[in-house]
Amino acid sequence: MPATRIDTRKGWVGDRRGALLEAVQRALVVGLKIPEDDRCIVLSEHDAEAMLVPPTKGAEYLVIEIRLFSGRSLEAKRRLYAALVEELAAFGVARSDVKVILVEVPQENWGLGGRPANEIDLGFKVDV
């Protein structure tokens, strides 16, 4: 049940927005073992002047921030990082241009349908 935000500069994604979102979704499924229909990803493209990035990064540089329940193993996080760079390579994104930030949230701090997530059967395991 992660909530994912992708920030990048305008111009390079073009008409591949949907394909890029699907690629990130596949990486989340592989890395975190979430259900395929568990989807919450936002792509934000910024004017070059509105996104300050290291001078060594390419035009395709992106930051992926994933808010997720606490409890994933280091191995799951490694799978996720590897799956993301593999999926994004198809778009010409160099592995060095992928920055991933995980923000772990306790389940009781995530509300779903008016209830804390720790009181709901999520339908998948978090401790993978």
Q: Print pLDDT tens along the chain (128 aa).
A: 899 999 999 999 999 999 999 999 999 999 999 999 999 999 999 999 999 999 999 999 999 999 999 999 999 999 999 999 999 999 999 999 999 999 999 999 999 899 998 898 888 788 88
In this structure, are residues 67 and 105 in contact, taking their beta carbons and an 8 Å threshold? Answer: yes
Spell out the domains of the chain, with CATH numbers in brackets.
3-119 (3.30.429.10)
Query: Do 7 and 62 form a contact (C-beta atoms < 8 A)?
Result: yes
Supply the angle between the helices 17-32 and 74-89 in degrees, to the nearest 10: 150
Tokens 């709901």 belong to which residue?
120
